[in-house]
Amino acid sequence: MAIPRPTLAPATHPLERLPEEWAEVLVSWGEPAYRGKQVFDWIHRRGVFDPEAMTNLPKTLRARLAEEGLGLPLSLGKMHRASDRTRKLLVRMDDGKEVESVLIPMLERLDPDASDEDEIERLPGDVVTQCISSQVGCAMGCVFCASGVAGLKRHLSAAEIVSQVLLGRTLLEGEERIRNVVLMGMGEPLHNYENVARALVLLTHPEGIGLSKRRVTLSTSGLVPQIDRLGRDFGGQIALAVSLHSVSDERRSQIMPINRKHGLGELMACLARYPMPKRRRITIEYTLIEGVNDSLSEADALARLLARVPAKVNLIPMNPISGSSLGAPATEAVLAFQKRLFDRGLPAFIRKQRGAEVDAACGQLALHGAAPRKKRGLGLAV
Ligand code: SAH
Ligand code: SF4
């Protein structure tokens, strides 16, 4: 069965071209169409951006490609490396704006983010998950999120999204390979749908980087029409993570303004129709905020809400952000919440704070660093 592919807007950067788009360009330069695949292979599969090193291409074409410019549209600003080998990359785009991306070695035997059939798989330390950004800042305004508080600066292009992985690959150590990519960095990926869709096609192209679609996870705060579109465009193959964070419409609207537009009923109906392959589950992200969404009755309600959707829950104790008094519950409360979900038959994992010492836990990607929490409490003001 043919896997659906979205109709894409035209490529705006050479690194965004698919093999057939390269072929068109090359034919217009008087080259044979088959060279399209060769150029794509050099860039995306082999990670070679210097046309002079593309040894199976004629000299004239290499010179023409050099004129075109195949360099990455971003560079590594800084890299912080934690003792668990988690690496936070500060990525600088050509206009000077910065986003973050994180390389996370999968060291645990049991991978909390893996799908059912993967959960028994043993992960060698050389398997890496890369967390990437889709926007500079974010327009969604979630009150517990540093990107949301900062507001949207701009969308990333498809080239900038893919280039985070092309750059990430150059920073791997030993036998490491990037097996999973999660769009959980800065930004709301579905608010930048066109560019993200092209990036997904590029990242999963079998002749390029070649990630398996089920190993690419898109995390969204719940933009219902775009979730439907993603499901249609990729036949449900792209793994979906949804930030829920509350089972009460009133509370969710307070902490996630998107809920005022697409409430819980609408969101849950949308998730129920996401065309997922059999035995796969939607990841429900639930950031635990003390006094806001961490009661055991909320856990009960969460289990009830998810009873009819194949789902697993990732609990993320909230990382403190600058200027907000919101914070994580005590560890015992987090464990009690998890246990309650388990008791209600819902698989729930607590997301480890990998790389926390370099302020690089996924979902903690900020325009400015996290500050120590001032006080704990119910106040929702930021
Ligand atoms: N915009 C998308 C993806 C990026 S955020 C989304 O919201 O899903 C990735 C995850 O980190 C989301 O579940 C988000 O709610 C969570 N997150 C954001 N700020 C956080 C914080 N301060 N502490 C813990 N998790 C946070
Ligand atoms: Fe945007 Fe996600 Fe942060 Fe909400 S949690 S503001 S959607 S990045």
Digit-coded pLDDT (tens) for 116-131: 444 435 456 689 999 9
Separation between Cα atoms, residue 355 and residue 380, nearest integer Å: 27
pLDDT at 15 over 50: yes
Whether residue 142 contacts residue 165, with contact meaning beta carbons closer than 8 Å, is answered with no
Separation between Cα atoms, residue 99 and residue 183, nearest integer Å: 13
Q: What is the pLDDT of residue 380?
A: 38
| For residues 200-215, average pLDDT | 97
Q: 141 C-alpha vs ligand 2 centroid, how far in Å?
A: 7
Q: What is the pLDDT of residue 71?
A: 95
Separation between Cα atoms, residue 224 and residue 274, nearest integer Å: 10
N- to C-terminal Cα separation, the chain: 49
Residue among 77, 96, 81 nearest 360 (CA): 81
Tens-digit pLDDT profile for residues 100-111: 999 999 875 444
Partners of 79 in beta bridges: 89
Q: Which of 16, 100, 290, 298 is catalytic?
A: 100
Q: Which of 131, 145, 270, 362 is catalytic?
A: 362
Q: How many Cα atoms are found within 13 Å in the side-chain-facing hemisphere of 135?
A: 22
Tens-digit pLDDT profile for residues 293-345: 999 999 999 999 999 899 999 999 999 998 899 999 999 999 999 999 999 99
CA angle 103, 99, 88 (to 5 degrees): 25
Q: What is the pLDDT of residue 110?
A: 46
Q: Is the CB of 287 under 6 A from ligand 1?
A: yes
Whether residue 184 contacts residue 131, with contact meaning beta carbons closer than 8 Å, is answered with yes
More confident residue, 365 or 235: 235
Q: What is the pLDDT of residue 2?
A: 64
Atom of ligand 2 nearest to the CA of 149: 6
Q: 189 C-alpha vs ligand 2 centroid, how far in Å?
A: 9
pLDDT at 1 over 70: no
Q: What is the pLDDT of residue 56?
A: 97
Choose one of 140, 184, 316 to mutate for the ligand 2 pocket test, by most ligand atoms within 8 angstroms of C-beta. Answer: 140
Name the residue with the closest Cα to ligand 2, atom 6: 148
Tens-digit pLDDT profile for residues 148-159: 988 999 999 999
Q: Is the CB of 243 under 6 A from ligand 1?
A: yes
Q: Which two tokens stand for residue 126?
A: 């050389």
Contacts for 40-43: CB closer than 8 Å, 24+ residues apart: 40/205, 40/207, 40/208, 41/207, 41/208, 43/15, 43/70, 43/166, 43/208
pLDDT band for position 377 (cuts 50, 70, 90): very low
pTM (2 decimals)?
Answer: 0.92
Atom of ligand 2 nearest to the CA of 138: 1
Q: Which ligand is nearest to the CA of 142?
A: 2
Q: What is the pLDDT of residue 123?
A: 59
Q: 9 Cβ partners below 8 Å, 6+ apart?
A: 194, 198
pLDDT band for position 192 (cuts 50, 70, 90): very high
Q: In what order do the strands lie in the sheet with 74-81?
A: 74-81, 87-93, 98-105, 127-131, 177-183, 216-220, 239-243, 282-288, 311-317, 348-350
Q: Which fold has domain 14-68?
A: DNA polymerase; domain 1 (1.10.150)
Q: Which two tokens stand for residue 317?
A: 């104790």
Q: What is the pLDDT of residue 349?
A: 94
Domain 14-68 matches domain 74-110+120-358 at the CATH topology level: no
Q: Is the CB of 184 under 6 A from ligand 1?
A: yes
More confident residue, 115 or 60: 60
pLDDT band for position 372 (cuts 50, 70, 90): very low
Host H or E run for residue 202: helix 193-203
Atom of ligand 1 nearest to the CA of 363: 11
Task: Report the number of secondary-structure helices (H) and strands (E) in the chain.
Answer: 11, 12
Q: Is the CB of 293 under 6 A from ligand 1?
A: no
Host H or E run for residue 220: strand 216-220
More confident residue, 45 or 373: 45
The amino acid that residue 323 corresponds to is: G
Asked if 67 is an active-site residue, the reply is no
CATH of 74-110+120-358, one of 3.40.50.150, 3.20.20.140, 3.90.230.10, 3.20.20.70: 3.20.20.70
Asked if 362 is an active-site residue, the reply is yes
Q: Is the CB of 113 under 6 A from ligand 1?
A: no
Host H or E run for residue 237: none
pLDDT at 231 over 60: yes
pLDDT band for position 371 (cuts 50, 70, 90): very low
Q: What is the pLDDT of residue 374?
A: 35
Atom of ligand 2 nearest to the CA of 221: 7
When computed from its CA atoms, the radius of gyration of the chain, rounded to whole angstroms, is 21
Q: What is the pLDDT of residue 106?
A: 85
| For residues 222-228, average pLDDT | 98
| For residues 204-228, average pLDDT | 97
Q: For the chain, what are the domain ranges? A: 14-68, 74-110+120-358
Q: Is the CB of 186 under 6 A from ligand 1?
A: no
What's the chain's average pLDDT?
Answer: 90
- Ligand 2 site residues (CB inside 6 A) read 138, 140-142, 145, 147-148, 187-188, 221, 243
Tens-digit pLDDT profile for residues 35-81: 999 999 999 999 999 999 999 999 999 999 999 999 999 999 999 99
Choose one of 99, 221, 244, 367 to mutate for the ligand 2 pocket test, by most ligand atoms within 8 angstroms of C-beta. Answer: 221
Whether residue 308 contacts residue 272, with contact meaning beta carbons closer than 8 Å, is answered with yes
